[in-house]
Amino acid sequence: MAKRRGNHEGSIRELENGRFRAEVMVNGNRMSATRNTRGACQDWVREKLNQRDLGYQPLTGKTKVKDYLGQWMARHARKLKDTTAKQYEEKLNRFVMPMIGEKPLDELTLPFIDAFYEQLLREGIGKYSLRFLHSILHKAFADAVKYGTLLQNPTTGATLPRLPEKEMMILEENEVSTFLIAARTSRLEVLFYLAIVTGMRQAELFGLKWSDVQWQNGKLLVQRQALPVRGGGIVFQEPKTKSGRRAIKLGEDTLDMLRAHKERQQMDRAIAGSDWQGMGLVFPSTIGTVLRRSNVRKEFKRILVLANVPDIRFHDLRHTAASILLNAGVPVIVVSKMFGHSKVSVTMDIYGHLIPTMQEMATQVMSDLVMPVAIDLEAESTTRDYAGVSLKKGQHPKI
């Protein structure tokens, strides 16, 4: 006998084999499921009704890839930052919709996905772009499996191109000094200096505001990033993780450099006059706007040549900072928090190879601690106490 849950809320009935069958209507489509208990059926009905309220549309035989992905993006975009959602949409509209958008969703298979990826590679998609696109599709189809739209995720196990390992380059300590001396010829001197002494990312430095500098307690608050938007423009966003929002302690020399930098910025502001766009940035352009990455790259390369040091990337200044700190014996957990890593294991995965000397130090410490020290037992007292039993010299405890 069916147990009704109310109008349009589904029904549950017991089958002859003792199991239970649930049915529910979602946007004109009847869905059903069989479970071992009535409670499990009730849970399933609640889940489907919740999905309906979130805008979920059940799969029909005519559902196309483009329809499902469009529906999925409409829901999923609420969970993403604006820039990330735009990246998702750009990748889907550029590579997926024109090529496989008309294909029925339930006809997607792993061999088909592999062939699709191979075609994209032949047509010139980059390896990083393909892996990013795969992550989007894998998430989208995982949700389809979760909601019962697909029986299995067709992207699971897909063949992906191997990425070339990015070579990490760092400046030696003497090269850092030479670089910073050469940087004195640049209006961005303090930007490069702060990148080395704090290990901050370029986007974090670009988004730094004077309100983030706590002069009294000597701390710098990392609260946002200035990120470029495809097609032009800049958007300010919070760091991706909670640990990315952090406070970095600054030394007095660094604070003095920031004070002098702020005074020079007033000169830039006076020269710009009405063209100055006050955004409160610590490192703005000559008219107060967010720095252009291309301009900073050119200036950075000029200083590298002037200093006659290796040709590294701006991001390698962060690696240089980590190398100096770790080889100076600064605990990994301190470096991890300073760099805004979500876990200490992330720091170790990236920089573990930079601290072999610390492993040697640890080995020596353990050796010194546990190495037995020779003593003259004959010179000891004529009695020794073993578990409360007093023995004369030469006697042994009974075991």
Q: How many domains does the chain have?
A: 3
Name the H helices within the chain: 38-53, 65-76, 82-91, 97-100, 110-122, 127-146, 173-183, 189-198, 202-206, 252-272, 293-307, 316-327, 332-339, 344-351, 356-370
Confidence (pTM): 0.61
385 domain residue, yes or no:
no
Asked whether residue 7 is domain-assigned, the answer is yes
Q: How many CA atoms lie within 13 A of 7 on its CB side?
A: 0
Report the relative pairing of strands 3-4 and 213-214 from DSSP bridges: unpaired
Quote the pLDDT of residue 24. Answer: 83
186 and 329 belong to one structural domain: yes
Separation of alpha carbons 42 and 40, rounded Å: 5
| Residue 261 lies inside a defined structural domain of this protein | yes
Residues 30, 141, single domain; the answer is no
**Main-chain phi, psi angles of 353, to 5 degrees:** -75, -10
* 258, 327: one domain: yes
> Is 238 found in the same domain as 218?
yes
Which residue in this structure is represented by tokens 């992550």?
135
Q: How far is CA 388 from CA 377, 384, 395, in A?
A: 19, 9, 15
Q: What is the pLDDT of residue 225?
A: 93
Residues 113, 114, 119: CA angle, nearest 5 degrees: 95
> CA–CA separation, 150 vs 66, rounded Å?
15
Q: What is the mean pLDDT of each run of 10 residues along the chain (399 residues)?
A: 47 89 76 85 83 62 86 87 84 94 90 94 89 94 84 90 78 92 95 95 95 94 88 82 91 94 93 90 94 94 95 93 87 91 85 64 58 56 52 53
Domain CATH code at residue 119: 1.10.150.130
Question: Shortest CA distance to 147 belongs to which of 16, 31, 265, 285?
Answer: 31
Is 89 found in the same domain as 38? no
- DSSP character at residue 92: I
> For residue 202, what is the domain's CATH number?
1.10.443.10
Same domain, 273 and 136: no
In this structure, is residue 139 part of a structural domain?
Answer: yes
Q: What is the DSSP letter of 239?
A: -
Domain membership of residue 229 (yes or no) is yes
Report if residue 318 sits inside a domain: yes
- Tell me the angle at which helices 189-198 and 293-307 cross, rounded to the nearest 10 degrees: 80
Residues 217 and 308 in one domain: yes
Is residue 4 helix, strand or coil?
Answer: strand
Give the DSSP H/E element, type plus range, for residue 236: strand 234-237
pLDDT score for 4: 41
Distances (CA, A) of 385 to 48, 75, 372, 397: 74, 75, 20, 10
Of 53, 74, 90, which closes a domain? 53
Output the pLDDT for position 154: 92
Residues 140 and 204 in one domain: no
Whether residues 46 and 91 share a domain: the answer is no
CA pair distance 334, 321, nearest whole angstrom: 13
Number of residues that this document lists for the chain: 399
Q: Which domain holds residue 344?
A: 173-354
Q: Which of 237, 241, 223 shows the shortest CA–CA distance to 82?
A: 237
Boundary (domain end) residue, out of 314, 329, 354: 354
316 with 340, same domain: the answer is yes
Cα first-last separation, the chain = 76
Same structural domain, 216 and 238:
yes
Do 179 and 298 sit in the same domain of this protein?
A: yes
